[in-house]
A and B are shown apart, each in its own frame.
Chain A
Amino acid sequence: MSIVTAIGHGPGNARAATSPARAARGPAYLLLAPGIAYLGVFFVIPVVALLVTSLYVPVPGGDVGQFQPAFEWQNYVTVLSTYWPHLVRSFGYALVATLAALLIGYPVAYAIAVRARGRPFVQAMLLVLVIAPFFTSFILRTIAWKQILADESFVVAALRAVQLLPPDGRLTATAFAVVAGLTYNFLPFMTLPIYASLERLDPRLVEAGGDLYASGPTTFWRVTLPLSMPGVVSGTLLTFIPASGDFVNSVLLGNNGTTMIGQVIDSRFFKVSDYPGAAALSVVLMVAILLLVTSYIRRAGTEDLL
């Protein structure tokens, strides 16, 4: 073999040309190894364990919390027939919270990325304000909301005074408070991806819209919004997915009628030690989210923009 073919530049020697690339894959896999190992240990194994556990049956005559391996499909039927309202409610709350976060987050992101464009200091300050809530624990912040929305709080007093709330109306321990809590807690996850895609938006495209007879609102609708869809899609996913599995907001801000599926799984597991039931519910939740998200991404049709 000549030196030319050996280094892979030989004319018409396709095999010689591809072999360096193949050789380069070894180190690539080596570099990926820690990541693959991490995913294996903390994702694949737990998911398999979850699937297996969800099919266990109680040990006959055994203690509470004692189970043995089985292939009990019935577990799924049982949890679904018992807890489907909680599942539906969770997705309902998550959907409303996601829409609310979108309505609040989009204008905020637009203001930071587009209105404050060219003023990096203002942009940085506003972004810090968006992220600032993360500086304290999210449980603490949710407890703080409990105080803010409490019956004797000034918020409730003010709302009653302007008759937005009937004299005996309350905010805490309502579905409204739960959805508001979800919206508040996941708002940065909505705002930041939208900000990122609006920031990338070429202002010359907006000018081109104006040049081609589109008014400000039309340009927003036909140019800005479609081009920020990747941000909207990631923002809504990052909000909807954790919101539907949330088990804190409903505990702290809701009542017995606002129980969400995360809360059910939590109590199945820790309170009554129904491990197969908790596992089956988790699997159901995962599959449901997977289906919803897949059809959503299909519909959004932003693959070529992502």
Chain B
Amino acid sequence: MDGASSGTGLSLERVTKEFGAFVAVDDLSLHVPAGSFFALLGPSGCGKTTTLRMVAGLERPTRGRVRLGDEDVTDRRPHRRPVNTVFQSYALFPHLSVLENVAFGLRRRRVAEPLTRAHEALALVEMDHLADRRPALLSGGQQQRVALARALVNNPAVLLLDEPLGALDLKLRRQMQVELKRIQTEVGLTFVHVTHDQEEAMTMADTVAVMNAGRIEQMGSPADLYELPRTAFVANFLGQSNLLRGTVVEGPSVGPGSVLAVDVGTGRRVLVPTERAVRTEGEVLVGVRPEKLHLVTRDEEVPWDVNVVGPGRVTDVAFSGVSTQYQVAVPGLGTLGVFVQNISGGGEVRVGDEVHLACAVRHAFGLDGAEDVASGVAEDGAA
């Protein structure tokens, strides 16, 4: 099996994996274009590792097909797939030196000069000086980098990374993120990168898929996912959101710039662009990101394309240098979070002040009202 010099596309078609009665991956379909950087983001236990294992051939899907490029590889044994994995547990061979670990795949494929190439791969992850050590003597972060080199050196058609940077400290992590991204663009490999860390997923990936309970909730570019979440889980898991429960009281207006009017309780109406709403009638959730909200001190006259709710009382002010985070309790709506950039120095609004909250209509989004407002909140990724 020869490693491809550049990436191959990867498709999962309606893949399901059951362990007994437990469904770990549920009817999942996705397509990763050749040479792209794809991130799978989701909370612990949502089936990310299981998905990767099915691509690597370490787990057989209960249903569905796995394709690499044009080939159906569902029934192919792992060693016959041009795919390599950076395992979550590293899985370095304890009886081999770091160098021989990295050369393992090259030797199996009888690649010329395996040791030279292994040294190069180790240099790439800044581990060449420890090439003669046994893995047991390395720190967690060092083991992780060796695992990365061991997979990368094979130039696989698809590289699967199962939280490959989880054990690194912040500085090394950022450095490796840049390095990984550079390798990926340079060599043109297809990367499937599993992570808990939403920031990592968003900064590195061309496409992010947010997974929850064995399903993909939403897939798209990082900016699309952030600006227009389609489920409450995505809205809360990726960054933070203020979600207000309400009922559509005036259907989509006609023409360009169509909006819905939503009653969010006690007669307060907010507008949501129709194309940003999942539902256009009945119960909905109106969402807005905290940094899109502004504090307005007087109930001033506002233009039609700005939603205003309030009055509410400031219950908490957290100053973090670049920005200030306010919590505002609005009777009947609950507590809303607001991020304000400290452009003007801040400090004008204090705990106990009465404020109104304003946001541009075009920043609001509408979700299905049947969803749980708290779904995806503060699960491990949503820092």
Contact = CB atoms under 8 A, between A and B. Distances in A.
Contact of A211 (B56, B89, B92, B134): B56
Interface residues of B, number: 24
B91 A210 contact: no
A227 B135 CA distance: 14
A290 interface: no
Given A212-B84, A214-B108, A205 B91 contact: yes
A202 B1 CA distance: 26
A119 to B, nearest CB: 15
Contact of B87 (A208, A218, A223, A229): A208
A116 B33 CA distance: 41
B91 A204 contact: yes
Contacts of B104: 209, 212, 214, 222
Interface in A189-230: 202, 204-205, 207-215, 218-219, 222-223, 226-227, 229
Contact of A213 (B89, B108, B134): B108
Task: Determine the main DSSP class of A at the interface with B.
Answer: helix
B33 to A, nearest CB: 23
A152 interface: no
B81 to A, nearest CB: 8
A211 B1 contact: no
B95 interface: yes
B78 interface: yes
A304 interface: yes
B57 A202 contact: no
**Interface core residue of B56, B95, B109, B154 (most chain A CB under 10 Å):** B95
Most chain-A Cβ atoms within 10 A of its Cβ — which of B57, B91, B105, B150?
A: B91
Interface in A121-151: none
Contacts of A77: none
A209 B95 CA distance: 13
Given A207-B58, A227-B94, A305-B95, A213 B105 contact: yes
Contacts of A304: 134
B51 interface: no
B11 interface: no
Interface in B85-113: 85, 87, 89, 91-95, 104-105, 108-109
B55 to A, nearest CB: 11
A259 to B, nearest CB: 42
Interface of B: 1, 56-58, 77-79, 83-85, 87, 89, 91-95, 104-105, 108-109, 134, 150, 154
14 contacts: A210-B57, A210-B77, A210-B78, A211-B78, A211-B83, A211-B85, A212-B79, A212-B84, A212-B108, A215-B79, A219-B79, A226-B95, A227-B93, A305-B95
Interface of A: 202, 204-205, 207-215, 218-219, 222-223, 226-227, 229, 304-305
